[in-house]
Chain A
Amino acid sequence: MSQIDGIQGNLLHEPTGKVEDEFERTASDYRPLHSFKLDKEKSYQQQFADMYFLRLTKLKPTVEQIAAEAWRDTIIGNEPAKKVERVLDIRQGELCWVAGTVYMEMALKPNILDDVSKDKWLSAPITDNKYYADDDSDAVTLEDESGRIRLVGDFLKDVILVTGCIVAVMGTENVNGELEVIDLKFPDLPPQPERWAVPEPPSTNGKGDSKQPKDEDEEMKDAQPRRGSGGKIAIVSGLGFSAQDASHAIELNLLLEYLLGEALDPAAQRELSQISRLIVAGNSISLEERQPIDEDSPEKKIDHKKYGYDSSSYNAQPSQLLDDFLSTLLPSIPITLLPGAQDPANASYPQQPIHPAMFPESRAYTAAPGSTESGWLDTVTNPWEGEIDGWRVLATGGQNVDDIFKYVGSDDRLGMMEAMCRWRCCAPTAPDTLWSYPFQDDDPFVMYTCPHLYIVGCQPEFGTKVIQGEDGQAVRLIAVPWFSATGEIVLVDSETLDVSRVKITAG
């Protein structure tokens, strides 16, 4: 294609003076669930051990049921596979199976006990280094409340395992006291709700309520069938607004004009009006210019420091740019904003919503404090769960995948996302290596319902695929790349969940 004349939407002509069509944006059906919302008054006194216990209690029955079915008639060497209740009950030489929590013993993995024994009380900064060592020094162990046993065998090389996932393993204990694994089962995909399962007034009674597997009831209540709008959902992550690095500033502008429907020609603009919602999946603000406070310049430090706040080291411009961006878009398109690792929210999972005070211009679009309805600009948790156009969506800012990535030797991020769905846990490595709130009564990272759409932001490259479960579940996995690095956004058709991507380049 190199002929300008052949282009359909060619605006290279004199002004025609004809009245332009006015496009109306497709409505977005949006019901957020508050599965990951923490109380404002939360205690950090608890131990983390409860999370592992809760996760095991919740997932053990499921995985045992799957394992029992799979291995019911398994006879190896005239010996039937027997179920043992606890890790400690495994007898040497007997073929048996047991369910428990995986724990990865890795030399490169940060270890809180090491830090305590060395009298280090500051948490080490999160690094991008892998924990995975390619020299067989890493040990996979299975533990429950009774004890821990090391898992060995070639079978383990083919599966992704990380600390915190619940599995059932079959095998025999060898002379070294290790379990030779013959087979391994995950809890697999949780039951998937029908489309349009969340009732009309979004349940806002806290996490406990929305987490119940009560989908059958809801379908009954939902008398009037709702219909999809036939729109598209735009997903972007890693906008990376920065005060200094302007290398992708024009791409951000083009994205803005694209989403507003001001760029392109009328035919394309008509298509753009189908985009009914924008999801920003983390890292809207760039960290790069946040330099550590220079210890060598005492003069600077003394200057103006109140409440330990050094105004000279803080640059408000990135958040202002983001605010401008959002407030320009908001009159035209509703936005769901997830925090990411670099955003002004708490660092530990689940990240709580970015406070609307960060957005003086856009905050008028947020929900009023204390109101139960969702805002037009919805600043939400990371991970976040909700229903968009009837589809159950689970979205994260990417830290969960980034952390699993450190455990394994592969680059298959979609595989990790799939593994998380099959483990029924969207952040298995919390609280071991992924910072997390010490949950006491509930592990919200356990997936009770299978999402239709699982979005992970801030990934190195775009990727998508559909995975299927035993009971007809189908999950569309999408890894959303950094916009600042790739200039890519993802469009999801809200009827078919088909994915397309848009790449924005300049120069």
Chain B
Amino acid sequence: MEDYKQYLAQKILTEDQVVTYRLLSRALKVHANTAKEMLYDFHKRQNDKRPNSLHATYILYGTRSRPGHQDEDVEMTDSPTPEAADAPFSDLVPTFTLSLVRQEQLQETLSQYTEVTSLHIYSLAPHPLKDLQILTDVTRQVYEASIANSIPNPTKVYGTIVNPNVRKRERRGRPNPVASKPKPKVDPKAPLKQESKPTPAAAVKEEPKEAPKPATASTTAKKPTPVASLKRQGSSGIGQMFAKAAAKPKKPAPLKAAAEDNQATAALSDDGEDDAEPMSSVKSEDNKESSSARQARKDRQAELQRMMEESDEEEEEAEEAEKEDPMDEEPPPPEPEPETKTGEQEPAEVVSGTSGGRRRGRRRVMRKKQILDEKGYLVTMQEAGWESFSEDEAPAVAPPPPKPKLQEQKSVKTESSATTKSKKGAAAGKGGQGNIMSFFSKK
């Protein structure tokens, strides 16, 4: 019971933060009403020791005496005729007022009430709050804290009114909520969670595993894809763990897993891509958001990593790779495109040479051609053509194919060429991960 004093002392006095009764109840897993009493107790003790060291806000609830006109308003009888325009428009109804006030205004506000039914401390802060809207940020923490350390039956513990009739349907596959929600993450529980992981060092290197998930395509898009992909050619990090054919070192992502994952989340793949697209445009403006998303990603990776350790004995090898490659934050390679798109065209490619792990050759592409016909209409035609490519010239300004397209998914070869293509897409100033959106983009 005494640990709330410790918690409050640390939060308020040491960390200089604002604590509301809800945050306290979430942090200590106590009933909201108990938290209100704890805040009062702490406030009293501290201010007895050092006056004015803590500043509280209070909630009042009750009937407020309204200035003046309350008495002369007469309860209006209903008028069945519409001619009652001169009468007071509305009936008089009881009004309850819930006020949030600073401790300085408490007495004054109390005197405005004719009856107060509830009074409790709302928040404590080490300094007077200039703007009560600041407390909104604390609510955000409450929201995140209650998600982070979700406990069974939270309503019972926190004192929320329970509803036995609540109906919720199970969803077949949820898009990852974190990726779709760029929010400033001030979750106090997150670090704790990470520490509890067995190998924090390994947690960060698992990034490539995220690649097949459509939901994380958004994070992919935030990074300068071409550069990262090229770097990856040196040491492909965790991707190697999946590489069935060890001779082909450039395989950036586990294809099989990708295919499976695509199927598993097929219904949601649209969501993922939609998410990805806008993100690419805000990457530069929104460092805060991306860093919070990164933090969230790390958490997930840590989780994935733990799963991996249980099943995969290639762990050590991967760790060596990790030492070689210090790119902790290295983004995953572009996601392989879903299989559904293969039907649209039949690309072919001829690999003319493989030197030092690099391939070059020609491949077949569909080019878009726009001409003005005799009536002055713009006609767009698609023509098949060949273009040469090579692996290492990826970010160069070679005439980009009108749309990044996709090869058969089973060969490693194909995968790398898909990478090349989306790189070209990126070079052309587009989003870069070769999804359905760039397929339709105008050149």
Contacts and interface: CB of A to CB of B under 8 A. Distances in A.
B164 interface: yes
Contacts of B80: 467-470
B265 to A, nearest CB: 15
Interface of B: 1, 21-22, 25, 31-34, 36-38, 40-41, 59, 61-62, 64, 76, 78-80, 82-85, 89-91, 93-102, 107, 110-111, 113-121, 131-133, 135-136, 139, 143, 155-156, 158-171, 175, 177, 180-181, 183, 277-278, 280-282, 431, 437, 440-441
A65 to B, nearest CB: 18
Contacts of A2: 107, 110-111
Interface string A487-505: 0000000000011111111
B93 A376 contact: no
Contacts of A23: 161-162
Contact of B277 (A4, A8, A311): A311
Given A265-B119, A267-B117, A333-B161, 19 more contacts: A15-B38, A27-B164, A27-B165, A261-B159, A261-B161, A304-B281, A331-B163, A361-B177, A367-B169, A410-B85, A418-B82, A462-B90, A479-B90, A499-B91, A499-B93, A501-B93, A502-B96, A503-B64, A505-B97
Select the residue from B89, B101, B111, B155 with max chain A CB neighbours within 10 A: B89
A463 B91 CA distance: 7
Contact of A24 (B100, B164, B167): B164
Contacts of B107: 2
B162 A465 contact: no
B114 A1 contact: yes
Select the residue from B64, B90, B277 with max chain A CB neighbours within 10 A: B90
Contact of B282 (A311, A363, A414): A311
A320 interface: yes
A15 B177 contact: no
A250 B93 contact: no
Interface string A1-42: 111100111111111110010111101100000000000000
B90 A465 contact: yes
Select the residue from A9, A24, A314 with max chain B CB neighbours within 10 A: A9
A1 B117 CA distance: 11
B80 to A, nearest CB: 5
Interface string A272-309: 11000000000000000000000000000001101100
Select the residue from A272, A469, A502, A506 with max chain B CB neighbours within 10 A: A506
A418 B79 CA distance: 10
Contacts of B180: 360
| Chain A: number of interface residues, binned into ranges | 35 or more
A366 B171 CA distance: 11
| Main secondary structure on B side of the interface with A | mixed
Contacts of A24: 161-164
A253 B135 contact: yes
B120 A265 contact: yes
A506 B278 contact: no
A213 B90 CA distance: 31
A250 B31 CA distance: 21
A273 B280 CA distance: 45
A306 to B, nearest CB: 5
A412 interface: yes
Nearest to A411: B89
Select the residue from A253, A254, A312, A364 with max chain B CB neighbours within 10 A: A253
A506 B122 CA distance: 11
A347 interface: no
Contacts of B97: 502-505
Nearest to A363: B171
Contacts of A334: 163, 165-166
Interface of A: 1-4, 7-17, 20, 22-25, 27-28, 158-160, 246-247, 249-250, 253-254, 256-258, 260-269, 272-273, 303-304, 306-307, 311-312, 314, 320, 324, 328, 330-334, 360-361, 363-368, 375-376, 410-415, 418-419, 422, 462-470, 479, 498-507
Nearest to A418: B82
Contacts of B139: 253, 256
A220 B91 CA distance: 36
B136 A10 contact: no
B82 A422 contact: yes
B277 A304 contact: yes
A500 B169 contact: no
10 contacts: A15-B1, A24-B163, A254-B100, A331-B166, A360-B177, A360-B180, A363-B171, A364-B169, A367-B169, A502-B97
A290 to B, nearest CB: 16
Nearest to B95: A501
Contacts of A462: 90
A376 B169 CA distance: 10
A269 B85 contact: no
A3 B113 CA distance: 11
A507 B57 CA distance: 9
Contacts of B281: 303-304, 311-312
Closest 8 CB pairs of A and B: A311-B278, A463-B90, A11-B120, A261-B161, A304-B281, A9-B118, A264-B118, A506-B100
Contact of A11 (B37, B102, B131, B164): B37
A11 B121 contact: yes
Contact of A304 (B36, B164, B431): B431
A261 B41 contact: no
Select the residue from B36, B61, B98, B175 with max chain A CB neighbours within 10 A: B98
A269 B159 CA distance: 9
A450 to B, nearest CB: 13
B44 to A, nearest CB: 8
A264 B120 contact: yes
A306 B135 contact: no
Given A4-B119, A306-B440, A360-B177, A11 B33 contact: yes
Contacts of B431: 304
Contacts of B177: 360-361
Contact of B89 (A9, A314, A463): A463
A277 B218 CA distance: 37
Given A467-B80, A469-B80, A500-B94, A507 B101 contact: yes
A422 B79 CA distance: 13
A262 B159 contact: yes
Given A17-B1, A253-B135, A463-B90, A265 B156 contact: no
B90 A503 contact: no
A462 B97 CA distance: 14
Given A263-B98, A464-B91, A499-B93, A333 B163 contact: yes
A82 B165 CA distance: 60
B343 to A, nearest CB: 22
B33 A20 contact: yes
A260 B110 contact: no
B155 A331 contact: yes
A260 B33 contact: no
